[in-house]
Amino acid sequence: MLCELATEHAGHATAAAEQSRILLAQAAAEMTRLENENLCLQQQLSLLRQENEELTMNVAKQSSLLDKLKKDAEQIHSKPKSPQVVRKSHKIGKENSQTLISPLRERNH
């Protein structure tokens, strides 16, 4: 009788050990998957931070350019100049603006 109980308990212990092994293998696989996903997300975050920094710099450059254009416009209104000078300064502003915007458009398309 004791041998039968011991054999039965050994069978239960073996089944429990096998179930534990399966659960450990599943947990290890899930950890590996999560680590890989985390690495991918960290790389994406790094790229987004870099892009954010570039966009911030471009916005700062554009703001500076707009401030300069506003200042130039104020000077033009306060001191009348020939039409050729006005057109030239306006054209330069448009060229600079397109130069700053163009790289962003290329990246987003």
Yes or no: say if 108 and 54 are a contact pair by the CB < 8 Å rule.
no
pLDDT bracket for residue 104 (50, 70, 90): low
User: Could you please report the per-residue DSSP string of 9-20?
Assistant: HHHHHHHHHHHH
| 31-80 pLDDT per residue, tens | 999 999 999 999 999 999 999 999 999 999 999 999 999 999 988 888 65
Domain locations along the chain: 2-108
Query: How many CB atoms lie under 10 A from the CB of residue 80?
Result: 8
Yes or no: say if 100 and 60 are a contact pair by the CB < 8 Å rule.
no
Query: What does pTM read for this prediction?
Result: 0.52
